[in-house]
Structure 1
Amino acid sequence: MLKWLAMVLIALQALLQYRLWLGEGGLRELAEVRQRVARLETENAPLRARNARLAAEVVDLKNGLDAIEERARSDIGMVRRDEQFFWVPDAVDAGGGGRTP
């Protein structure tokens, strides 16, 4: 009786060991998944760097266009199509600047 119990326990242990090492979700599959993850991380690294560069470029373009528009408004008096321009002369220019003819 004890002999049969030992044989059953050994068979059960062998079955569990097989599932652990070679079965579905076992260590072999875990190693394969880790290798796949490492490969994909390596492939994704340049893409992440590219995405970061593109995001920075978008921010620069947005801020750059705002800066260009502000400079065009202040330096050369540009106005957008949906705006109205009102010119108000300076007090010095309107009164002749206090100069005598």
Structure 2
Amino acid sequence: MLKWLAIVLIVLLALLQYRLWLGEGGIRDLALVRERVAALEAENKPLRDRNARLAAEVVDLKTGLDAIEERGRSDIGMVRADEQFFWVPGVAVEATRREVGAGLAESAPRPTEASR
């Protein structure tokens, strides 16, 4: 009788070990889930960094006038009342982008083949 009980217990232990190591929700699945989590974390890191930069920019825009002035100058080409703006025809687009801002330079009409 004791011999049969020992055999039954060993078989149960073997089944539990199989389920733990190879069955659904076992250690192999856990390793796969951990790999997937690591891949998603690596994918999300640049997005988190971008979100942090944007959040800092939002705080800066809400609290400081310097940031608002910088955005006005670079994005829409604004100048202060005590400043003068000079536009020089024939200046390269890259120089215009630095001076006026990428927003205005990209929206400016470009010459076509027919107008050259």
Give the TM-score range, shorter chain.
0.5 to 0.7
By relative contact order (CA 8 Å, sep 6+), the higher-ranking structure is: 2
Q: Which runs of 5+ in 1 are unaligned?
A: 70-75, 77-101
> C-alpha displacement at 1:39, in angstroms?
0.8
> C-alpha displacement at 1:67, in angstroms?
8.1
CA distance in 2, matches of 1:41, 1:68: 34
The normalised TM-score by structure 2 is: 0.52
Give the number of the structure whose alpha-carbon radius of gyration is greater.
Answer: 1
| Mapping 1:1-101, distance limit 5 Å | 1-65=1-65
Q: Which runs of 5+ in 2 are unaligned?
A: 70-80, 82-116
CA distance in 1, matches of 2:68, 2:28: 59
Greater fraction of residues in helix: 1
CA distance in 2, matches of 1:50, 1:37: 20
CA distance in 2, matches of 1:42, 1:68: 33
Q: CA RMSD in A?
A: 2.4
1:27 maps to amino acid: I
Q: In the comparison of the two structures, how many residue pairs are matched?
A: 70
> C-alpha displacement at 1:7, in angstroms?
1.6
The normalised TM-score by structure 1 is: 0.58
Tell me the equivalent position of 2:87: none
Return closer, same or farther for 1:57/1:47 CA change in 2, 3 Å cut-off: same
